[in-house]
A and B are shown apart, each in its own frame.
Chain A
Amino acid sequence: MNTLDSKIPEGPLAQKWTNYKANQRLVNPANKRKLDVIVVGTGLAGASAAASLGAMGFNVDIFCISDSPRRAHSIAAQGGINAAKNYQNDGDSVGRLFYDTIKGGDYRAREANVYRLAEVSNNIIDQCVAQGVPFAREYSGLLDNRSFGGAQVSRTFYARGQTGQQLLLGAYGALSHQIARGTVKLHERHEMLDLVLVDGKARGIIARDLTTGEIKRFAAHAVVLATGGYGNIYFLSTNAMNSNGSAEWCCHKKGAYFANPCFVQIHPTCIPVHGDYQSKLTLMSESLRNDGRIWVPKKKEDVEALRKGTLKPTDIKEEDRDYYLERRYPAFGNLVPRDVASRAAKERCDAGFGVNNTGLAVFLDFSTAIQRLGRDVIEARYGNLFQMYEKITAVNPYETPMMIYPAIHYTMGGIWVDYELQTSIPGLFAAGEANFSDHGANRLGASALMQGLADGYFVLPYTLQNYLADEIYSGKVSANSPEFDKAEESVRQRIDALMTIKGSKTVDYFHKKLGLIMWDYVGMGRNAEGLQKGLALIKELEVEFWKDVQVTGTPDSMNPELEKAIRLADYFELAKLMAKDAYHRNESCGGHFREEYQTEDGETLRNDNDYMYVAAWEYQGHNQDEVLHKEPLVYQDIEIKQRNYK
């Protein structure tokens, strides 16, 4: 039985989306008003989807865990958003953006989805400009672009170092417009804790009001999951503190397949870890690699002197510096994709060339660019990032090179979706980082914003409507059914179970331990033995958690400890699946680097014969082995090659 129908439309690659739109079913305006849609999450994907669906006339309920939709973590994206506008006349095209994204993802993304993404990328820029997003301009008044990793063209649009913020505020504005019109109802400080299925279809959610602790029911004809990724499973990541994987996980437990959970992106340029009290890692935008050069000393004695503080980085002569990315990858230099840059940093640090006390840092140096362009130009380009760096580290990056190290940043894996972004549960859709579809085993910089907005503005309005066309006959969905009773009861039981343990250790104690296990064994470099060991350690810790965690307070009031405990309980289960997925994939691709499978010069070694598929896992119950479904990846229009950035 092949349960994985990706529903890719017929026809040549460039015609598929056009064909789909020409043949999709529509809902007339009078019926749209009678159809209810739940959107969970207010980041780029959720806000843009809710705003678009509301504008079309559907009744939308949107949920966010923060006090306002504008807090969603899309806001923190710094560098930019890609589009194939070719405004720079440098040879860009839809086909080129498509190709770069597939190649960047190491040939593990679905061709048809990625092509559609490249196709609608241009509409996104038009849409955002119309909303008043203040993108950077040239003196002519035209839009400016810059370059990002994995591309040889300048196709990235940006708003200083706050592109995510400006795009999210654009989507938030569109969402606010619809809230004012009454088509969208906002539920702030609400967290989804379960998905409700009626007759096999997604029909609503159970959510906890984080202010009062009240458990509430919401019914609808379809549910859109736009809750971001699960990078916080590592405790230390560039994700926001409240970002979590629980909404995804409860859908998975209800039957939504989880695809490629082990594909995690580790971003090469983050501020290094400095203490065990640390709560998160701060990203320094990839755009810095346009002008910054990454290096470590060539000589071990210089490394020692740096660590002792007897030598300053600026004292090290040019010929004694190893610009290892430029050395290893002359064609792309400092702008190689993230997974390549991260591994190269790890390789140098593992070889003993790390430049700080922990030995886990490399330099990102702007002195060449400042000499060439002047400090003013660099300040105009990256001023806010330099300020952020100085506030955190108390070091002035105009004078001393930044110290950076890779950190967990993004999860390419996520809920499995077909071409319509529908999951394996009818009526449940997943958008943005929450789905798995577009980035393969590694996401290129400035593509997350593109994907979130593509899904919300330009894909779901078509595909969700196609689904809802059948729902006009079903009438209002009631939240007073036995299915809702059961789901609510199971949420209450889970909360009770956590509250009654009354153990001796805090939630964060366990989360930090889990994070370390994940980083050590399911992190940047993985091997079969380590993954087995990691899995055993996760299981042990999970048992200890359920025996000895202490959740203070009461469930019927604002209680951040309880929120964290619920999320962590789900992370334990997800962690096991990530380890299992990483163990089963006997190859290296993109961000999934299995140390046993590498080329002589340390690059990823794919195994296309055996692993050119999406691994979609089906939940079987707690501590039961999940069942693997394979979606073969077929590339019609692309020649499959070993990735080469040399």
Chain B
Amino acid sequence: MNFTLKIWRQENAKAKGRFETYKVENISSDCSFLEMLDILNESLISNKIAHPVCFDNDCREGICGMCGLYINGRPHGNDDGVTTCQLHMRKFTDGETIWIEPWRAKAFPVIRDLVVDRTAYDKIIQAGGYVSVSTGGVPDANSILIAKDKADKAMDAAECIGCGACVAACKNASAMLFVSAKVSHLALLPQGKVEAANRVQKMVEKMDELGFGNCTNTYACEAECPKLIKRSNIARLNREWICARVGKEK
């Protein structure tokens, strides 16, 4: 397969960016999207055309959350429930022009080309996205009983990989799906209940402070989430937050 690529190039955070056009040829349909970019980079180097395109990636099996490209106007491209590294070229048509951009959000500034700074996510977690236990002195694992459906729901939320697709998809660049996934995961479990009220307020406050937008319920985040995290988590976050604000037991 042959493709024309329109790729966002930007030397550093302060430089002005632009789209550059490159061509790749004889790409196998079984090739992954990132492998296609590897092939492009090899040819950019070998033919001395340009410095290779920088893009974040690591596990290449859809779990580390490191990769994330805005492809033809969709985070992680035109397939559901996958990360960019799990996207394969068979999802494209031969001869197609593919637009490749970094995540666009004020809270995720561009570092170089397609690489963005997502440390804002870590800061939100540091604001309270954990159970405050230190190592040791904890009870036997089976002394805490958790109903299977609760554990399953908590796991559904905990599957979030922190890639940032929800923010990239949102017209407000809101991080509500990401924050709500962590709030839900811990609020659903007895271990997380103790600090739940404090956690939700601290995390939301930090999210606002870091420049993420508000949620206006378009649910683009849910539609584009590679791990299919549900918007019902946002409803749970809102409930947790309101109850915490009025100081009420749920």
Footprint of B on A, CB under 8 Å? 48, 51-52, 55, 66-73, 75-76, 85, 87, 123, 125-132, 134-143, 159-160, 162, 165-166, 169, 172-174, 176-177, 179-180, 186, 188, 211, 240-242, 274-275, 277-280, 282-283, 387-388, 391-392, 394, 457-458, 461, 504-506, 508-509, 550, 552-553, 557-558, 560-561
Q: Which residues of B contact A176 (CB under 8 A)?
A: 122, 125-126, 129-130
How many Å lie between the Cα of A51 and that of B138 in the bound state?
15
The answer to whether B130 touches A76, judged by C-beta atoms less than 8 angstroms apart, is no
Taking A277-B38, A279-B34, A553-B51 as given, write out 9 further A-B residue pairs in contact, using a Cβ cutoff of 8 Å, ordered by the A residue number: A66-B58, A131-B133, A134-B154, A137-B148, A141-B145, A160-B155, A162-B63, A166-B158, A509-B42
In the bound assembly, the distance between CA atoms of A60 and B24 in angstroms comes to 46
Q: Are A55 and B135 in contact (CB under 8 A)?
A: yes
Q: Does B99 contact A (CB under 8 A)?
A: no
Q: Do residues A282 and B61 form an inter-chain contact, with CB atoms below 8 A?
A: yes
With a cutoff of 8 Å between Cβ atoms, the chain B residues found around residue A186 in the complex are 122
Q: Which 9 A-B pairs have the closest CB atoms?
A: A173-B130, A141-B145, A130-B138, A55-B134, A52-B135, A134-B155, A129-B141, A137-B151, A240-B58
User: Which of B113-121, B167-175, B208-216, B240-248 is the contact stretch?
Assistant: B113-121
Contacts of B1 in A (CB 8 A): none
Return B223 CB to nearest CB of chain A, in Å: 18
* B30–A279 CB distance below 8 A: no
Bound Cα distance from A385 to B140, whole angstroms? 30
Cβ-based interface call for B4 (8 A):
no
Partner of A173, one of B118, B131, B139: B131
The interface residues of chain B, by DSSP majority, are classed as loop
Contacts of B122 in A (CB 8 A): 68-70, 176, 186, 188
A-B contact pairs, 20 of them (CB 8 A): A55-B135, A67-B118, A67-B119, A68-B65, A68-B122, A76-B63, A160-B159, A188-B119, A188-B122, A240-B59, A240-B64, A242-B58, A277-B31, A388-B86, A458-B135, A458-B136, A508-B38, A553-B52, A557-B12, A558-B115
Alpha-carbon gap, A10 to B17, bound state (A) = 65
- Known contacts: A67-B117, A129-B144, A458-B135. The answer to whether A240 contacts B191 by CB under 8 A is no
Task: Report Cα–Cα, A241/B86, bound state, in Å.
Answer: 14
Interchain CA distance A157-B82 in the complex, whole Å: 26
Q: Are B35 and A141 in contact (CB under 8 A)?
A: no
Q: Which B residues are in CB contact (< 8 Å) with A69?
A: 122
Are A126 and B133 in contact (CB-based, < 8 A)?
Answer: no
Distance (whole angstroms) from the CB of B80 to the closest CB of chain A: 10
Contact status of A179 and B162, CB under 8 A, knowing A68-B121, A137-B151: no
Whether B189 is near chain A, meaning CB under 8 Å from some CB there, is yes
Partner of B136, one of A127, A166, A558: A127
Cβ 8 A contact of B147, one of A73, A137, A504, A553: A137
- Are B142 and A132 in contact (CB-based, < 8 A)? no
Q: Give the Cβ gap from A163 to chain B, nearest Cβ, in Å.
A: 11
Chain A neighbourhood of B31, CB < 8 A:
275, 277
In the complex with contacts A73-B64, A75-B59, A134-B155, A391-B38 CB distance below 8 A:
no
Q: Which of B45, B59, B82, B147 contacts A561 (CB 8 A)?
A: B45
Residues of A with C-beta under 8 A to B61: 76, 280, 282-283, 388
Contact B125 A558, beta carbon cutoff 8 Å: no
- Shortest distance between the CB of A466 and any CB in chain B (Å): 16
B56-A75 in contact (CB<8A): no
Alpha-carbon distance A165/B60, docked complex (angstroms):
14
Q: Which residues of A contact B118 (CB under 8 A)?
A: 67-68
Known: A125-B141, A392-B88. A174 touches B63 (CB 8 A): no
Residues in B with CB closer than 8 Å to A137 are 146-148, 151-152
Give the shortest distance, in Å, between B170 (CB) and chain A (any CB): 20
Docked complex Cα distance between A87 and B191 (Å): 21
Chain B residues with a Cβ closer than 8 Å to the other chain, count = 76
Is residue B5 within 8 Å, beta carbon to beta carbon, of the partner chain?
A: no
Instruction: Name A134's contact: one of B45, B57, B189 (CB within 8 Å).
Output: B189
Shortest CB–CB separation between residue A154 and chain B, in angstroms? 14
> Which of A135, A166, A173, A387 interacts with B129 by CB under 8 Å?
A173
Once the chains bind, are A66 and B66 in contact (CB under 8 Å)?
yes
Most buried by A among B64, B90, B121, B146: B64
Minimum Cβ distance to chain A for residue B240 (Å): 15
Closest beta carbon of chain B to A101's beta carbon, Å: 21
Shortest distance from the beta carbon of A508 to any chain B beta carbon, whole Å: 6
State the CA gap A131–B66 with chains docked (Å): 24
- Please measure, in the bound complex, the distance between the C-alpha atom of A561 and the C-alpha atom of B51, giving whole angstroms: 9
> CB of B112 within 8 A of chain A?
yes
Is residue B39 contacting chain A, with contact meaning CB distance below 8 A? yes
B158 in contact with A279 (CB, 8 Å): no
* Complex-state Cα separation, A123 to B12, whole angstroms: 46
Q: Are B111 and A558 in contact (CB under 8 A)?
A: yes
B217 contacts the other chain (CB 8 A):
no
Complex-state Cα separation, A125 to B162, whole angstroms: 24
Given A52, A126, A142, A162, which contacts B138 in the complex, CB threshold below 8 Å? Answer: A126
- CB pair B45–A506 under 8 Å, yes or no, is yes
- Complex Cα distance A137/B144, Å? 11
| Contact indicator per residue, chain B 35-48, by CB within 8 Å of chain A (1) or not (0) | 10011001001100
Q: How far is the CA of A557 from the CA of B58 in the complex (A)?
A: 20
Chain B residues in 8 Å Cβ range of A131? 130-131, 133, 191
Provided the pairs A70-B65, A458-B135 are in contact, do residues A274 and B191 lie with their beta carbons within 8 angstroms? Answer: no
Interface centre among B126, B129, B141, B144, by most A CB within 10 Å? B141
- Cβ contact within 8 Å between B58 and A73: yes
Contacts of B39 in A (CB 8 A): 277
- Complex contact A141–B148 (CB within 8 A): yes
- Contact assessment for B65 and A550 in the assembled complex, using a CB-CB cutoff below 8 Å: no
B205 to A: closest C-beta gap in Å:
13
Across the interface, A274 reaches (CB within 8 A) one of B30, B45, B62, B132, namely: B30
Chain B residues with Cβ below 8 Å from A179 are: 126
Per the bound structure, the CA–CA distance linking A55 and B58 in Å amounts to: 30
In the bound complex, what is the Cα–Cα distance between A159 and B151 (angstroms)?
Answer: 10
Do A550 and B145 form a contact, CB below 8 Å, given A127-B138, A130-B133? no
Known: A132-B185, A141-B145. A240 touches B60 (CB 8 A): yes
Q: Compute how far the CA of A129 lies from the CA of B38 in the bound complex, rounded to whole angstroms.
A: 40
* A130 close to B131 (CB less than 8 A): yes
* Interfacial chain B residues near A66, Cβ < 8 Å: 58, 64, 66
At the interface, yes or no: B28 with Cβ under 8 Å from chain A?
Answer: yes
- The answer to whether A280 and B45 have CB atoms under 8 Å apart is no
What chain B residues lie within 8 Å of A391 (beta carbons)? 62, 79, 82, 86, 88
Chain A residue nearest to B159 (CB atoms) is A162
Contacts of B128 in A (CB 8 A): 180
* Cβ-based interface call for B54 (8 A): yes
Does B186 sit at the interface, judged by CB under 8 A?
yes
